[in-house]
């Protein structure tokens, strides 16, 4: 038997990844058989050709059986880099996998059992060896090894592909999840930004509308205030003109009356002269008798005139002993009370002749005054409201001024004197209101004088000859009658203390931007008149202590050493006389001495400073200005009557 050269039908350039199947292998074996039969001469050495038995089903590939219809070819893909090495002309997409040679093994059966394959191959080898010889056995061995290599390569590639597919799937899934999360986060951020921008736009719009509304309200208030001010100026001018005309009329009437009285007096003198001439012209017989009668009449007239002068002098002396007050203070009191009386008389005529009910206006004033507190905003708002009420054309200004004065006084007559903060706040309100309505100050001071005679200052001495009973005296100095009985002294002293604290708070008030028409100068004058004229007793002691407690701090800030001298005078003169005259005034004496000795006038009184600002920065004592003397105010010298 000759040698057989087996050559595979493949191109010279062998494909590194051949695509072999079972049909190709069977066709190759058939071609080999035909060559063997053609070249062989000895039939005994060349066996008969293979008789194909029914081929086993090798179409199941892999570890799981798949039908021919559902089988898919194996596709190997290589990267762009490897593809570029083989073929530079073919263009691919960057980063993608390109299709390569396909391996289709639909006709090869890959069993999961390696033992069964080995047995079949051994039987095949034995059968081939027996029938075909050594060459066929070698070829079969080569074929078997090739199939094993192909199957191993397929398994490796399947495992790699499965791993890559799983990794790609997980990577794609995680990427999709991350993308969805990023989308949700971005959507939430966009929603928040939209809400934030909408809120900012709404706030800006609201602020703009608020500013426009506030500006409109401010302009409206300015216009209304200007209208009210113009009306008030016109009303003041009209009243001033009417008052001047009334004064001129009264003066003219007075002059006319004085002229008539003078004419009547001259006529009477002429008549008396004529009668005297007639008496002198009588007969001589009756001359002596007439002369005697005339002498007797003249003597009687002289005695009567002397008696009348003595009685008048006695009455003046008695009156001077009862009322203790400075002459100027009494004149001011009389003038204020006269103005207030005329105001009340005019109000009575207005109220009786008008059908308007002024009770709600009075309630509004009372409620506004009771709502005053020690804050800057409250003081300004309440003062503005009271000015609006006083300038309301629906109610005559004289009526509203009288209501304001009565309500201020009545509230502090019934308020405990411990509430100093309300007194300082009310002082501010009074100053603000009087700056807009000047006539309010005289009405309020007149009401003070009626409620407390020590605001004049004035004191009435007790005399059995002047007063029928003690109750009459108590009523004269300001005691009130309640349910047919005179009030107690403690109640009267509490009312004096409360009203004097309000008066002291008023005279020391310095409001920003306005002038106090009854300021510290009036307080200094009051203190001088008080110490010069009023006697030391329990009533004057309470009034003095309350006044110093409220106004002493401001008086010392302005008058400094002069005020200290006044306090020394009180300590040396007033207190000892008070102790000697009234032994029961121990508590009042101790309070005055404590105020002077502990130098409480250097400390701000309780409630003096409004919340948020000072009552008056002018009178705040500073460390570097304690030694300065006050040179601008005129010096006032007074003597204390012993």
Q: What is the mean pLDDT of residues 251-279?
A: 77
Question: Is the separation of the CB atoms in 529 and 457 below 8 Å?
Answer: yes
How far apart CA 573 and CA 566 sit, in angstroms, is 10
How far apart CA 374 and CA 428 sit, in angstroms, is 10
Strands (E), 214-318: none
Query: CA-based diameter of the chain, in Å?
Result: 235
pLDDT confidence bin for 283, thresholds 50/70/90: low
In Å, how far from its chain's centre is CA 151?
89
pTM, entire model: 0.49
At residue 483, φ and ψ (nearest 5 deg) are 55, 40
pLDDT of residue 583: 79
| Residues linked to residue 99 through DSSP beta bridges, in sequence order | 77
Closest residue by Cα to residue 594 from 564, 549, 560? 549
pLDDT confidence bin for 587, thresholds 50/70/90: confident
Q: How far, in Å, are 17, 445, 572 from residue 24 at the CA level?
A: 15, 136, 146
Read off the pLDDT of residues 285-320 as tens digits, 9 standing for 90 and up: 555 544 444 444 344 333 433 333 333 333 333 444
Closest residue by Cα to residue 405 from 456, 336, 355? 336
Between CA 531 and CA 540, with CA 536 as vertex, the angle to 5 degrees is 80
Strands (E), 422-576: 458-460, 481-482, 485-486
With a pLDDT cut of 90, the percent of the chain lying above it is 42
How far apart CA 470 and CA 492 sit, in angstroms, is 15
Q: How far, in Å, are 172, 181, 195, 586 from residue 185 at the CA level?
A: 20, 6, 15, 84
Residue for token pair 């969805």: 180
String of DSSP letters for 138-179: HHHHHHHHHHHHHHHHHHHHHHHHHHHHHHHHHHHHHHHHHH
Strands (E), 218-325: 323-325
pLDDT of residue 181: 93
Read off the pLDDT of residues 369-427 as tens digits, 9 standing for 90 and up: 999 998 899 999 999 999 999 998 888 999 999 999 999 999 888 766 556 678 999 99
* Token pair in block for residue 604: 């701000």
How far apart CA 243 and CA 238 sit, in angstroms, is 8
Burial class of residue 540 (count of CB atoms within 10 Å of its CB; 0-12, 13-18, 19+): buried
How far apart CA 182 and CA 613 sit, in angstroms, is 57
11-15, 129-133, 474-478, 587-591: range with lowest mean pLDDT: 11-15
How far apart CA 95 and CA 598 sit, in angstroms, is 99
* Token pair in block for residue 529: 């008149």
User: Is residue 633 predicted with pLDDT exceeding 80?
Assistant: no
Read off the pLDDT of residues 174-221 as tens digits, 9 standing for 90 and up: 999 999 999 999 999 999 999 999 999 999 999 999 999 999 999 989
Read off the pLDDT of residues 71-105 as tens digits, 9 standing for 90 and up: 444 445 544 444 444 444 444 444 434 344 444 44
How far apart CA 138 and CA 557 sit, in angstroms, is 134
pLDDT of residue 15: 54
Q: Delineate the domains of the chain, giving CATH numbers in brackets.
A: 22-173 (no CATH), 323-459+488-625 (1.25.40.510)
Question: Is the separation of the CB atoms in 227 and 391 below 8 Å?
Answer: no
How far apart CA 589 and CA 451 sit, in angstroms, is 24
At residue 611, φ and ψ (nearest 5 deg) are -65, 120
Q: What is the mean pLDDT of residues 243-250?
A: 87
Read off the pLDDT of residues 485-537 as tens digits, 9 standing for 90 and up: 899 999 999 999 999 999 999 999 988 888 999 999 999 999 999 999 999 99
Handedness of CA 264, 266, 272, 274 (dihedral sign): negative
| Residues linked to residue 323 through DSSP beta bridges, in sequence order | 460
Residue 515: partners with Cβ closer than 8 Å, 6 or more residues away: 435
Question: Is the separation of the CB atoms in 333 and 456 below 8 Å?
Answer: yes
How far apart CA 265 and CA 270 sit, in angstroms, is 9
Between CA 31 and CA 42, with CA 37 as vertex, the angle to 5 degrees is 155
Burial class of residue 244 (count of CB atoms within 10 Å of its CB; 0-12, 13-18, 19+): exposed
- Number of Cβ within a 10 Å radius of residue 529: 19
Give the DSSP H or E segment for 106: none
Closest residue by Cα to residue 522 from 530, 511, 514, 512? 530
3-state secondary structure 115-130: HHHHHHHHHHHHHHHH
pLDDT of residue 278: 65
Residue 463: partners with Cβ closer than 8 Å, 6 or more residues away: 318, 321, 322
First to last CA, the chain: 176
With a pLDDT cut of 70, the percent of the chain lying above it is 68
């Amino acid at each position: 038997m000759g040698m057989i050269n087996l050559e595979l039908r493949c191109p010279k350039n062998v494909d590194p990844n051949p695509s072999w199947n079972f049909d190709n292998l069977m066709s190759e074996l058939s071609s080999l058989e035909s060559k063997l039969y053609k070249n062989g001469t000895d039939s005994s050495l060349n066996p008969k050709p293979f008789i194909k038995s029914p081929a086993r089903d090798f179409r199941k590939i892999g570890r799981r059986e798949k039908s021919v219809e559902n089988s898919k070819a194996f596709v190997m893909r290589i990267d762009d880099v490897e593809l570029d090495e083989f073929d530079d002309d073919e263009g691919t997409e960057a980063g993608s996998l390109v299709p390569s040679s396909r391996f289709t093994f639909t006709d090869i059966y890959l069993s999961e059992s390696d033992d069964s394959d080995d047995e079949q191959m051994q039987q095949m080898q034995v059968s081939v060896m027996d029938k075909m010889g050594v060459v066929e056995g070698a070829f079969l061995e080569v074929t078997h090894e090739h199939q094993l290599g192909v199957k191993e390569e397929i398994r490796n590639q399947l495992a790699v592909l499965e791993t890559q597919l799983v990794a790609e799937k997980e990577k794609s899934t995680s990427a999709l999840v991350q993308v969805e999360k990023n989308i949700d986060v971005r959507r939430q951020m966009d929603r928040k930004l939209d809400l934030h921008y909408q809120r900012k736009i709404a706030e800006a719009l609201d602020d703009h509308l608020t500013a426009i509304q506030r500006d409109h309200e401010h302009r409206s208030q300015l216009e209304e205030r200007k209208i009210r001010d113009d009306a008030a100026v016109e009303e003041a001018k009209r009243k001033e003109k009417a008052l001047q005309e009334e004064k001129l009329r009264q003066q003219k009437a007075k002059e006319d009356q004085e002229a008539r009285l003078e004419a009547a007096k001259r006529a009477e003198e002429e008549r008396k002269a004529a009668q005297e001439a007639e008496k002198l012209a009588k007969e001589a017989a009756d001359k002596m008798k007439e002369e005697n009668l005339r002498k007797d009449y003249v003597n009687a007239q002289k005695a009567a005139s002397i008696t009348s002068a003595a009685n008048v002098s006695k009455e003046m002396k008695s009156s001077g002993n009862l009322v203790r007050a400075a002459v100027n203070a009494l004149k001011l009191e009389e003038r204020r009370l006269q103005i207030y009386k005329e105001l009340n008389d005019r109000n009575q005529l207005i109220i009786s002749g008008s059908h308007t009910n002024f009770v709600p206006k009075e309630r509004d004033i009372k409620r506004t005054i009771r709502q005053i507190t020690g804050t800057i905003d409250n003081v300004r708002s309440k003062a503005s409201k009271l000015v609006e009420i006083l300038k309301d054309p629906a109610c005559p200004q004289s009526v509203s001024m009288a209501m304001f004065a009565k309500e201020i006084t009545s509230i502090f007559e019934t308020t405990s004197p411990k509430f100093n903060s309300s007194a300082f706040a009310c002082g501010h309100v009074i100053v603000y209101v009087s700056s807009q309505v000047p006539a309010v100050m005289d009405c309020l001071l007149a009401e003070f004088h009626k409620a407390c005679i020590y605001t004049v200052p004035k004191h009435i001495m007790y005399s059995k000859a002047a007063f029928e009973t003690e109750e009459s005296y108590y009523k004269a100095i300001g005691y009130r009658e309640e349910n047919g009985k005179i009030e107690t002294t403690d109640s009267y002293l509490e009312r004096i203390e409360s009203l004097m604290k309000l008066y002291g708070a008023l005279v020391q008030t310095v409001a920003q931007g306005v002038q106090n028409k009854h300021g510290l100068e009036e307080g200094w004058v009051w203190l001088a008149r008080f110490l010069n004229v009023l006697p030391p007793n329990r009533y004057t002691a309470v009034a003095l202590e309350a006044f110093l407690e409220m106004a002493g701090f401001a008086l010392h800030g302005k008058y400094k050493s002069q005020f200290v001298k006044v306090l020394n005078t009180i300590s040396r003169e007033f207190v000892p006389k008070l102790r000697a005259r009234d032994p029961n005034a121990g508590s009042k004496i101790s309070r005055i001495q404590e105020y002077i000795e502990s130098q409480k006038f250097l400390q701000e009184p309780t409630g003096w400073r409004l919340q948020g600002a000072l009552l008056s920065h002018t009178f705040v004592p500073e460390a570097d200005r304690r030694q300065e003397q006050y040179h601008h105010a005129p010096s006032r010298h007074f003597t204390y009557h012993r």
